[in-house]
Chains A and B, each alone.
Chain A
């Protein structure tokens, strides 16, 4: 992996929200074809970090390099055009809109009608149904409103949307938090598949087993700082779990819970 150049280099990223320091200098590289797991406690800054990567937030300081050149995404649209697709923790789905309108939101398939950009509903409906089927979800129809889907189904729409559009980088912020067993293994298999196609995957999870299953490298965040990056095989699940909980406390917790965490 060392011979490749990273797709994205995040250098010493800081992000402040008013007086809150959400990120206090985090550096991470994402290589093509790797699954980079981002781990850490609640409020550690994982979502904030990937949002700076996907153009939602501008970093307060620090540098972002995309394919070797400094990038300055003005908004998520630029990042998307560059081939970075994201499943946000809050999914970015609109309940009142149909599944296929949501699927292609911001990325509408265009059919030209003179100078007018028409929304190609036929194509959108077909692709949406296909992609959802691949993920193991049978929709009633592409015009079903997202509001009527279950939490997991919604998450699956968001994931298949990102997979469909993530040509170079796929960012998944806790994509499996609401998923059933079968859909979860589907998602993990999909991560593995797109990684083999050379896509760089950033995978945020609180589940160590999921991280161990697909991760190539692991970066742990704690209170806005990185605790370091470990290679696959260079760390045991137990060590990882300790790091994710911020180090110390889990050891004592584990005693009282009988090693079930």
Chain B
């Protein structure tokens, strides 16, 4: 037996950890650095391209918000120790369901929306239950649902309408109370005020002459902000948050300590489906149509954003704020390349490179936390 040296006062065996190292041991670090780098780069290379005026900001802000919405769900799920590869298919499926209920079947739009949410969240729960009951990796189970949902998203409208795009959603949603919660814009007065102060440009011609070029904050962005705040709060400040970390850190240990691991994981699958459906609703009411190919590859983009944001693929560690920064990096780069006039296919090259860097950084951080060598 060895006596572990102790002292009762301040522990002389602890070197003061340098502030730098301490700052490094944060899940958000990669996201923060990445964000700064990306903004500096585009300020230099696309500063005069209109990327940072009101319209430009709204442009990459909207794209980033899209990534953020699905990243929040994917982040919580990944911290709970699971993946959902069916997110992209779920987005296409949810949009198509709303279109079929609201347009093809002609139901009131708010009923179509609510039923879509119920169906999609139930599918999320089914994903979770199968993963828990069979003990199969969620990777495989949700991969199956990636194909199943995409298949239905193409099959159903083809059977009913002989096509894979259903339009007329905006008309069908006219006067509906729930649809603007996803497709509307708020705070128009604020942008008018900014325009009056001359802070943002106004249209100089056409029917909207004198109106600000940005006429409101899209609900898409509002949803992104709400989900990020709610997700961050849930994860760091609540009892349930502790359960999420525990379930992903070591399910067996968590279970033995009385954490309802199965419930936590299933609920996180439901939350991911909820986020995907929000995304789909915002998209459907913005475009006024549903198409069978919507949401393609979104599951990977969500996962990449989460990993850039510092979460470990193995679960138990990560941050919603980090994931949101990851999504921001994504949106800024994707749109920024466009503003900078760079060939947009290079976006994929960038994705691959930054994913690799993020994973390497995360592995290093994990070693520091757990003291592994």
Q: Which residues of A are in contact with B by a Cβ distance under 8 Å? A: 54, 56, 75-77, 79-81, 86, 88, 90-97, 101, 104-108, 110, 116-119, 121, 136-138, 140, 145, 147-148, 150, 152-153, 179-184
Please report the C-alpha to C-alpha distance between residue A86 and residue B11 in the assembled complex, in whole angstroms.
29
- A117 in contact with B238 given A77-B260, A150-B4, A182-B3 (CB within 8 Å): yes
Of the residues B4, B238, B242, B253, contact of A90 by C-beta under 8 Å: B253
Flag whether B2 is at the interface (Cβ < 8 A): yes
Q: Which residue of A lies closest to B7 (CB)?
A: A138
Nearest Cβ on chain B to A185's Cβ, whole angstroms: 11
Please report the C-alpha to C-alpha distance between residue A96 and residue B27 in the assembled complex, in whole angstroms.
12
Of the residues A80, A147, A152, A153, contact of B258 by C-beta under 8 Å: A80
Q: B249: which A residues are within 8 A, CB to CB?
A: 94-97
Please report the C-alpha to C-alpha distance between residue A17 and residue B14 in the assembled complex, in whole angstroms.
45
- A92 in contact with B253 given A108-B239, A117-B239 (CB within 8 Å): yes
B6:A148 contact, CB within 8 angstroms: no
Please report the C-alpha to C-alpha distance between residue A183 and residue B1 in the assembled complex, in whole angstroms.
11
Nearest Cβ on chain A to B38's Cβ, whole angstroms: 28
B253:A94 contact, CB within 8 angstroms: yes
Of the residues B238, B317, B366, contact of A116 by C-beta under 8 Å: B238
Of the residues A106, A147, A148, contact of B257 by C-beta under 8 Å: A106
Q: Which of B1, B4, B14 has the most CB of A within 10 A?
A: B4
Q: Which residue of A lies closest to B312 (CB)?
A: A96
Q: Which residues of B are in contact with A by a Cβ distance under 8 Å? A: 1-4, 6-8, 11, 14, 237-243, 245-246, 249-250, 252-260, 312, 316-317, 366, 369-372
Could you list 22 examples of A-B contacts with CB < 8 Å? A56-B256, A76-B256, A76-B258, A79-B258, A80-B257, A81-B258, A90-B253, A95-B249, A96-B245, A96-B317, A105-B246, A105-B259, A116-B238, A118-B237, A118-B238, A119-B239, A136-B6, A137-B6, A147-B371, A148-B370, A180-B3, A182-B6
Q: B260: which A residues are within 8 A, CB to CB?
A: 75, 77
Of the residues B2, B6, B253, B370, contact of A91 by C-beta under 8 Å: B253
Q: Which residue of B lies closest to A80 (CB)?
A: B258
A183:B4 contact, CB within 8 angstroms: yes
Of the residues B239, B246, B371, contact of A110 by C-beta under 8 Å: B239
B245:A138 contact, CB within 8 angstroms: no
A76:B366 contact, CB within 8 angstroms: no
Q: A180: which B residues are within 8 A, CB to CB?
A: 1-4
Please report the C-alpha to C-alpha distance between residue A134 and residue B255 in the assembled complex, in whole angstroms.
27
B1:A179 contact, CB within 8 angstroms: yes
Please report the C-alpha to C-alpha distance between residue A60 and residue B335 in the assembled complex, in whole angstroms.
61
- A181 in contact with B3 given A94-B249, A119-B242, A138-B8 (CB within 8 Å): yes
Please report the C-alpha to C-alpha distance between residue A93 and residue B173 in the assembled complex, in whole angstroms.
52
Q: A148: which B residues are within 8 A, CB to CB?
A: 369-371
A147:B256 contact, CB within 8 angstroms: no
Q: B372: which A residues are within 8 A, CB to CB?
A: 147
If A106-B259, A119-B241 are given as contacts, then 12 extra A-B residue pairs at C-beta distance below 8 Å, sorted by A number, are A75-B258, A92-B256, A93-B253, A96-B312, A101-B246, A107-B258, A121-B237, A148-B369, A150-B4, A179-B1, A180-B4, A182-B3
B257:A92 contact, CB within 8 angstroms: yes
Q: Which residue of A lies closest to B25 (CB)?
A: A145
Q: A147: which B residues are within 8 A, CB to CB?
A: 369-372
Q: A88: which B residues are within 8 A, CB to CB?
A: 256
B256:A86 contact, CB within 8 angstroms: yes
Nearest Cβ on chain A to B255's Cβ, whole angstroms: 7
Q: Which residue of B lies closest to A91 (CB)?
A: B253
Nearest Cβ on chain B to A187's Cβ, whole angstroms: 13
B246:A94 contact, CB within 8 angstroms: yes
Please report the C-alpha to C-alpha distance between residue A153 and residue B11 in the assembled complex, in whole angstroms.
14
- A117 in contact with B4 given A96-B245, A97-B245, A147-B371 (CB within 8 Å): no
Q: Which residue of B lies closest to A136 (CB)?
A: B6
Q: A119: which B residues are within 8 A, CB to CB?
A: 237-239, 241-242
Please report the C-alpha to C-alpha distance between residue A138 and residue B369 in the assembled complex, in whole angstroms.
18
A105:B3 contact, CB within 8 angstroms: no
Q: Which of B242, B243, B252 has the most CB of A within 10 A?
A: B242
Nearest Cβ on chain A to B30's Cβ, whole angstroms: 16
A101:B240 contact, CB within 8 angstroms: no
Nearest Cβ on chain B to A78's Cβ, whole angstroms: 8
